[in-house]
Amino acid sequence: MDENDDISVERDGAEEDGMSEEELEATESRMDAKTKKLKAELDICKKERQEHLDGWQRAKADYVNALKRFEEERMEAIKLGVLKASHAFITPMDSLARAEATGEIPASFQAIAKQLHDATGSLGLVQFGEVGEAFDPMRHEALGQDPVDSSEQDEIVTAVLETGWKAGELIVRAAKVRVGSFAG
């Protein structure tokens, strides 16, 4: 039944048998009143149904939005945790890298050094910053300039004073570098 359909009462003629004109009109009047009452009740029910449906749909949308917000907050908390853990690892890893570069790591410490490298890898930490790469202010912190002979070397990293660290696309620490500057 469509909402716009009107309710109609069909008579089979049996109710008219043995009734006077006044009784027939009174019965018809009662039936019309009852029909109007039923239509009013039906309209109220339709309105309440729509209100409940609208409320349920709003609640469902609020729930879906809350789930999305909770997931975003969880991901931000994970990033913050990785960032804090990364900061704790950076200084010891820099010291370890300097010791490895000079060959001063005793054989008995090699297993511990491997564990430290594995731990930084599990955090997704990667070192970056090399001589010859293009200077990027989002990844590098320029601590000085060096004169260069050609325009191709302009804005190119000439020295890495301290490597940078990143976890995914998140820069944990910018690389501290010197940058070439062409005066010509």
What is the pTM for the complete model shown?
Answer: 0.59
Same domain for 109 and 22, yes or no, is: yes
- What total number of domains does the chain contain? 2
100 assigned to some structural domain? yes
At residue 3, the pLDDT reads: 56
Same domain for 103 and 160, yes or no, is: no
At residue 53, the pLDDT reads: 95
User: Domain with 164 in it: what CATH number?
Assistant: 2.30.22.10
Q: Could you read off the pLDDT tens digit of each residue along the chain, which spans 184 residues?
A: 565 566 555 555 555 566 788 888 888 889 999 999 999 999 999 999 999 999 999 999 999 999 999 999 999 998 888 888 888 888 888 888 888 888 888 888 888 889 988 988 888 889 999 999 999 999 999 999 999 888 888 999 999 999 999 988 889 899 999 999 988 7
> Which residue among 78, 101, 123 closes a domain?
123
The Cα 181–Cα 87 span in angstroms is 32
Query: Contact at 8 Å (CB) between 162 and 141?
Result: no
32 assigned to some structural domain? yes
**128, 126, 170, 162: which is closest to 144 by C-alpha?**
162
Query: Contact at 8 Å (CB) between 135 and 170?
Result: no
Same domain for 133 and 113, yes or no, is: no
For every residue of 9-72, DSSP letters joined together read ----SGGGTT--HHHHHHHHHHHHHHHHHHHHHHHHHHHHHHHHHHHHHHHHHHHHHHHHHHHH
Q: Which domain holds residue 130?
A: 124-184
CB contact set of 119 (below 8 Å; sequence gap of 6+): 89
At residue 15, the pLDDT reads: 53
Same domain for 140 and 75, yes or no, is: no
At residue 11, the pLDDT reads: 57
Q: Which amino acid is at 115?
A: Q
Q: Which amino acid is at 13?
A: G
